[in-house]
Structure 1
Amino acid sequence: MILLHSRNVSEYSANSKLFREYIGAESDSINLSEVPINPDVEFHFIIAFAIDYSSSKNPSPTNGKFNAFWASSHVTPEEISSIKDKYSNVKIAISLGGDTTTRNEKAFFAPKSIDSWVQNAISSLTTMIKLYSLDGIDIDYEHFKSDPDTFAECIGRLITSLKKSGTISFASIAPYDDGEVQSHYLALWEKYGHAIDFVNFQFYAYDKMSVPEFVKLFDKQASTYGGGQILASFSSEVRGGGLVPQDGFFEACKELKGKEKLGGIFIWSADDSKRNEFKGEVEAQKFLVA
């Protein structure tokens, strides 16, 4: 499926120097300051995750009232302020949803109504964004108790409102093609793709693949999200799928770069990369500025 949009001209483009890194979802000991930052890239930390559940001992859905659910106690307003003061090329986003588990159950996107969810989400996220001095949001819902059109309208209105008010300067989505997830994001893209700046496609959500298979999947998703800025990705988890650096990830990126298709690179996640001293982060950023 090829979906076309009248998109805004972005400061980013194919073969950009954009590097993005999820952080905070899996470790209570990770600090932003531990991650190597190349001053010549555009560097986005993506804090994972905020969800619209209560922050009590027994979390329950709140219909759009977001709270912090990231694991790291070190990702604080003070830490964010310090890293942004040190690096002028760093921006910070907050990711919504994720494969988050509460009370041994997945956190679902389950609005009571479009209007009430959007109103609550705008209010709660505006407060969070100002508190943490954030620059953007990332949409990573993976479990749904709503139809695709409701998801599209809720998220689309949220993004456009936060952008219109100047609360955020960019927004991204993090889909993968498993049927239900992709159908929800395609509904969002079809109606609000013009407001979405980056597509953090989860190439690591698949079985391990070869370089040609990765490039083929990238091309397919670039067509699916027509006009979008698609980032290549890998997971630094021990059992990560997709294509990892030791099996040819950067070879695939070189091929995509040669075709002027590479919209950047992102990694899941800094929490996992810490164990190998962030070798993938260093190599990815070096590749982007070469």
Structure 2
Amino acid sequence: MSRLHHFSLLIVTLALSFQLFCDGKVMMEYIGATGAPVEFDDVPVDANIDFHFILGFTIDADSSGAPQNGNGVFSPYWAATLTPDAVAATKSRHPNVKALASLSGWSLAGKTLSWYNPPDANIWISNAYSSLKSLILTYHLDGIDVDYEKFPANSNSSFAYCIGELITLLKNQSLISVATIAPFYNTVSPYVELYESYVEVIDYVNYQFYTDKVKSPEAYLEAFRNRTEQFDRGKVLPSYEVNGRGIQGDAFFEALRLVEDDGFDVNGAMIFSADASASNGYYYEIKTQEFLLSNSTS
């Protein structure tokens, strides 16, 4: 057997072993959105979890938050500590880690960001593809997360077409392996349109349940049921905002148990964000991973 053939078999074996080892559990963690000097190494990562760091944010606007004439050129605005070398190092230490870039977010430089219909959708897609390709290769990224949070009042938005075609192109060119979307209660409509048209290239729905402002586990379960009627139940991840809105404290884990008892497979979760968790020793990251690994689903 040649050394090359032996090495190829080793890589395949390791990949299959890792897939079985992680047992289908996924953890999404936003990081770097506030500008605080957070480090990947600060966040506890369980080796049995398929752990996705979502870098917030890359934005198709200039540094003042003004749209760049609809040209789709993305630039990174996450914390300066989250360098390409830092991404490569944490992925080297943790083979179960992936890194994603989140598109847009809520604001930049105090200015609310909005999806704007580009004059030419295909030019926007081409420019977005080129700029994100450069970002993906530079930062050793595995995917993108779509987090536009404000849309034009008219219903003729090109959002679904532009984003759907962009994800499809990135996947077809093997530049990314993961694509997620992050709707909340006020943006469900454009995301449902995107999801229904491009469901085959969207892997997870990081629905922002904390924006639903539910305070009890029972209300959280009801919100979860409602959202899984709009998006596939197997792709919707329960979510939590540290020191933020919605359900707080250990009531979140009681809500997860209710969701599981109601017949849902709780095989993943999303937390916003690592920046806020530094103040409490990453309690929710640790406990969420423990829950995912101890629950009865597989």
> Do these two structures clear the TM 0.5 threshold for a shared fold by scoring above it?
yes
- Judged with a 3 Å threshold, the aligned counterparts in structure 2 of structure 1 residues 73 and 200 are, in CA distance, closer, same or farther, namely same
Does 1:267 pair with 2:271? yes
Larger RCO (CA within 8 A; separation ≥ 6): 1
The equivalent of 2:12 in structure 1 is: none
- Residue 60 of structure 1 deviates from its aligned partner by 3.0
Please give the per-residue CA displacement for 1:15-73, whole angstroms capped at 9, x wherever unaligned: 94111100000133100111011111110000000010134xx4532221000111x11
**Equivalent residue number for residue 4 of structure 1:** none
Q: What percent of counterpart residues are identical?
A: 36
2:291 to 282, 287, 290: 287
For the 8 Å contact 2:234–2:265, the answer to whether it is kept is no
User: Which of 76, 86, 89 is the equivalent residue of 2:96?
Assistant: 89
Partners in 2 of 1:126 and 1:148 — Cα distance?
Answer: 28
Cα separation, 1, equivalents of 2:213 and 2:276:
19
Structure 2 counterpart of 1:184, which letter? P
2:205 is the counterpart of 1:199: yes
Q: Which deviations, in whole Å up to 9, do the C-alpha atoms of 1:231-269 show, x marking residues without a partner? A: 0111113xx1222233x1111212223413324111000
The residue type paired with residue 137 of structure 1 is I
Three-state SS of the structure 2 residue aligned to 1:230 is: coil
Partner residue of 2:32 out of 14, 24, 29: 24
Q: Give the number of aligned pairs.
A: 269
User: Equivalent residue for 2:81?
Assistant: 74
Measured on the aligned residues, the alpha-carbon RMSD in Å equals 1.8
Deviations 1:207-250 (A, max 9, x none): 2421111001101101111355110111113xx1222233x111
User: In structure 2, the residue corresponding to 1:245 is in which secondary structure?
Assistant: coil
Verify: 1:229 aligned to 2:235, yes or no: yes
Kindly name which structure, 1 or 2, has the bigger radius of gyration based on alpha carbons: 2
Question: Any stretches of 5+ residues in structure 1 without a counterpart?
Answer: 1-10
Could you say which residue in structure 1 is the equivalent of 2:245?
241
Scaled by the length of structure 1, the TM-score of the pair is 0.88
Check if 1:167 corresponds to 2:175.
yes
Which 10-residue stretch deviates more, 201-210 or 255-264?
255-264
Distance 1:98 1:192 in 2: 21
2:214–2:220 Cα contact (<8 Å) kept:
no
Contact between 2:65 and 2:111, CA under 8 Å: does it hold in 1?
Answer: no
Other-structure match for 2:137:
130
Q: Given the alignment, which residue of 46, 50, 75 partners 1:42?
A: 50
Using the TM superposition, give the Cα deviation of residue 183 of structure 1 relative to its aligned residue in structure 2, in angstroms.
1.2
Whole-Å separation in 1 of the counterparts to 2:156 and 2:97: 33
Contact 1:149 1:188 in 2 (8 A): no
Tell me which amino acid in the other structure corresponds to 1:23: I
Matched-pair contact (CA < 8 Å) for 1:16–1:288: no
Secondary structure (helix, strand or coil) at the match of 1:229 reads coil
- Which amino acid is the alignment partner of residue 112 of structure 1? P
Distance apart, 1:147 and its partner CA: 4.1
Is this contact kept in 2: 1:230–1:262, CA < 8 A? no
The one-letter amino acid paired with 1:281 is E
SS in 1 for 2:235: coil
Out of 217, 223, 230, the residue aligned to residue 223 of structure 2 is 217
Give the whole-Å Cα distance in 2 for the aligned partners of 1:263 and 1:192. Answer: 22
Letter of the 1:224 partner, please give it.
Q
Aligned in 2, Cα 1:274/1:148: closer, same or farther, shift over 3 Å?
farther
